[in-house]
A and B are shown apart, each in its own frame.
Chain A
Amino acid sequence: MSIFIDTAYILSALLFGLGLKLLSSPATARRGNLLSALGMFIAVVVTLLNQQIIDFKFIAVGILVGAIIGVLAARLVAMTAMPEMVALLNGFGGIASLLVGWAEYNANTEPTNFLAVTIFLTVLIGGVTFTGSIMAWAKLKEIWIGNFGISKALVFPGQQVFNSLLLAAIVASGVLFVADIGPGYTVFYVAIGLAFVLGIMAVIPIGGADMPVVISLLNSYSGMAACAAGFVIQNNILIVAGSLVGASGIILTNIMCKAMNRSLGNVLFSGFGSVVTAGKSGEQGEAQPISVEDTYYLLEAASSVAFVPGYGLAVAQAQHAVKELAVLLENNGCEVRFAIHPVAGRMPGHMNVLLAEADVPYDQLVEPEDVNPIMETVDVCVVVGANDVVNPSARDDETSSIYGMPIIEVDRAKTVIVMKRSMAAGFAGIQNPLFFLDNTRMLFGDAKASMQGLVSEFKRD
């Protein structure tokens, strides 16, 4: 029987690998996801044949409760809330692995050194993933505690020292646990507690705009936790699947870091966005506002328009309005593109999902390196709720804290319309010289309302 189970696990691993491969092209992605789900289904079903399993009562209850919650959450979540959903799911994966490690320790309180090490690592990674994800979720939800917005980067004096002590304590508890010195269970509980604190401490100094990095990193951790649990129960399928996820999370994290021209260490420890770095903010000049009507005349005459969405698009829920405007522009004989920066929004691919929800075909979405070379040929660039990713300081101003970050060079378009609520600075806390350029016009107000205004102008004739 065990040979049968192991063979089925090989099939599952194959389906996971194939599924991930197919996920890398929009045309086959859906099939890839189904294959991967099939792999999971096979793995779960054959596990139930395992002879160690005697009682199915609790399993049935657990699966039923989990499936109901999972189905409801997946059905009901709004597309704009997808980053929060992904953060929570990461966290659930982490806590599940922690519990598996704990259950194994409880069933076997005198583990061999090898088992003790793997249990410790599972609990550590699982715990960090869990509380880290919950913190990330709270930051994405923009929960406020008193008058402190949790989504801001939180840096306090002595943070580095505290974190170093925390790490030292974790290493010490690990050594005590593995060497079986002291009361085993107490050491184990302390280790869980320390892992929870580490997860929180790791995420609090990270600001809203860096969320894409954190989410992909936590994604990677959830895979590593499963992988470590695989070592605990000596199960190949957990190791294979867990490390596939771990690797994919690391790749995404790396793409996000590159898109911000920052190292992972810099994102994790610098508390970016908490300190307002001025740059050369002196000579700003005056921003030139524009009305909806005048914007309409510009767009009506344009033969090429590029929209540049940012987190503001999600906040204003303007994705459907922008799609409507894009269709009207196309019917008007204009070429429409959506230029999307990899870190726009709060998670990797955030803007793409929102626009897909609004039925924007994915071949209209272009990346910075595709649109920048042809920027001079774009008549009107419409920036919707994006700021730092279009800030020319990143290219021109060596003193700027975002210097070197690849941007969408909208300032090189013939005209730039910036849709914005007010003149406030972006998440990085730096002024944007783009707003004061001769070819920039500011369309103040709610992005959705402005879009709808433009749509009705178009429909009037």
Chain B
Amino acid sequence: MAEFVFLAFILMLSIFLGFELISKVPATLHTPLMSGSNAISGITMVGALIAAGAESNQLSVILGTLAVVFATINVVGGYLVTNRMLSMFKKKEDDKK
């Protein structure tokens, strides 16, 4: 139970942090914010790696490996596509160069 309280504590603080960090994003960046934050949600990969690598039993390994595949697509695809979008955003001065 102590473990739960500790985790819940972290949860509460990071939700608060998330609201503070993101509340002032200009509309121009809404899509990159979404795809970029989506890539972060691929953090579930950490759990997938442990499941795929722990030699517990066969089904768990299969499930874990599948999870690694999906989470990797999420992470790699998400970061790359966000980077691709952001590289297109230019200010006027850059335009004239």
Interface set of A (CB-CB < 8 Å, partner B):
13, 16-17, 19-21, 23-27, 29-30, 32-34, 36-37, 40, 43-44, 47-48, 50, 52-56, 58-59, 61-63, 65-67, 69-71, 73-75, 77, 79, 82, 85-86, 89-90, 92-93, 95-97, 99-100, 102-104, 106-107, 114, 215-216, 219, 222-223, 225-227, 229-252, 255, 340, 342, 347-350, 352-353, 356-357, 359, 361-365, 367
User: Interface code B81-97, partner A: CB below 8 Å = 1, 0 otherwise?
Assistant: 11111111111101100
Closest chain-A Cβ to B39's Cβ sits at a distance in Å of 7
Q: Mind listing 6 A-B residue pairs with CB under 8 Å?
A: A30-B86, A74-B80, A74-B84, A103-B60, A237-B43, A238-B43
Beta-carbon contact of B74 and A247 below 8 Å: no
Beta-carbon contact of B53 and A56 below 8 Å: yes
Given A69-B77, A227-B11: A352 and B28 within 8 A (CB)? yes
Beta-carbon contact of A234 and B66 below 8 Å: no
Closest chain-B Cβ to A41's Cβ sits at a distance in Å of 9
Cα distance A44–B52 in the bound complex, in angstroms: 13
Cα distance A217–B38 in the bound complex, in angstroms: 11
Beta-carbon contact of B25 and A23 below 8 Å: yes
Q: Which of B25, B28, B43, B60 interacts with A241 by CB under 8 Å?
A: B43
Closest chain-A Cβ to B23's Cβ sits at a distance in Å of 6
Cα distance A102–B66 in the bound complex, in angstroms: 11
Interface set of B (CB-CB < 8 Å, partner A):
1, 3-4, 7, 10-11, 14-15, 17-19, 21-57, 59-61, 63-92, 94-95
Cα distance A90–B52 in the bound complex, in angstroms: 21
Beta-carbon contact of A58 and B38 below 8 Å: no
Closest chain-B Cβ to A324's Cβ sits at a distance in Å of 14
Beta-carbon contact of A70 and B72 below 8 Å: yes
In terms of DSSP, what is the predominant structure of the interface of chain A?
helix
Other A-B pairs, 15, CB within 8 Å; known A92-B73, A348-B34: A17-B21, A23-B32, A62-B64, A73-B77, A75-B84, A79-B85, A82-B31, A103-B51, A231-B4, A232-B47, A245-B41, A247-B14, A255-B30, A349-B34, A361-B91
Q: Which of B34, B49, B84, B86 interacts with A252 by CB under 8 Å?
A: B34
Beta-carbon contact of A66 and B68 below 8 Å: yes
Given A40-B79, A107-B60, A353-B31: A96 and B70 within 8 A (CB)? yes
Given A16-B40, A92-B71, A349-B29: A361 and B90 within 8 A (CB)? yes
Beta-carbon contact of B51 and A107 below 8 Å: yes
Cα distance A74–B42 in the bound complex, in angstroms: 15
Closest chain-B Cβ to A389's Cβ sits at a distance in Å of 13
Which residues of chain A come closer than 8 Å to B18, judged between CB atoms? 20, 243-248
Beta-carbon contact of B27 and A340 below 8 Å: yes
Determine the residue in chain A with the shortest Cβ distance to B20: A247
Given A24-B21, A238-B44, A347-B34: A54 and B14 within 8 A (CB)? no
Beta-carbon contact of A93 and B41 below 8 Å: yes
Q: Which of A56, A232, A247, A353 interacts with B85 by CB under 8 Å?
A: A353
Cα distance A58–B54 in the bound complex, in angstroms: 10
Determine the residue in chain A with the shortest Cβ distance to B38: A89
Closest chain-B Cβ to A7's Cβ sits at a distance in Å of 15
Closest chain-B Cβ to A224's Cβ sits at a distance in Å of 9
Of A13, A21, A34, A74, chain B has the most CB atoms within 10 Å of the CB of: A74
Beta-carbon contact of A349 and B60 below 8 Å: no
Closest chain-A Cβ to B41's Cβ sits at a distance in Å of 4
Beta-carbon contact of B53 and A33 below 8 Å: no
Q: Which of B31, B40, B76 interacts with A36 by CB under 8 Å?
A: B40
Nearest first, the 4 closest Cβ-Cβ pairs linking A and B are A66-B72, A247-B18, A62-B68, A70-B76
Cα distance A246–B37 in the bound complex, in angstroms: 9
Which residues of chain A come closer than 8 Å to B95, judged between CB atoms? 359, 361
Closest chain-A Cβ to B54's Cβ sits at a distance in Å of 5
Beta-carbon contact of B46 and A367 below 8 Å: no
Q: Which of A65, A97, A233, A239 interacts with B11 by CB under 8 Å?
A: A239
Which residues of chain A come closer than 8 Å to B40, judged between CB atoms? 16, 19-20, 36, 40, 223, 241, 244-245
Beta-carbon contact of A92 and B57 below 8 Å: no
Cα distance A71–B72 in the bound complex, in angstroms: 10
Closest chain-B Cβ to A309's Cβ sits at a distance in Å of 13
Cα distance A336–B41 in the bound complex, in angstroms: 38
Cα distance A63–B75 in the bound complex, in angstroms: 10
Beta-carbon contact of A23 and B36 below 8 Å: yes
Q: Which of B15, B50, B52 interacts with A247 by CB under 8 Å?
A: B15
Cα distance A243–B17 in the bound complex, in angstroms: 9
Beta-carbon contact of A362 and B50 below 8 Å: no
Q: Which of A92, A99, A235 interacts with B64 by CB under 8 Å?
A: A99
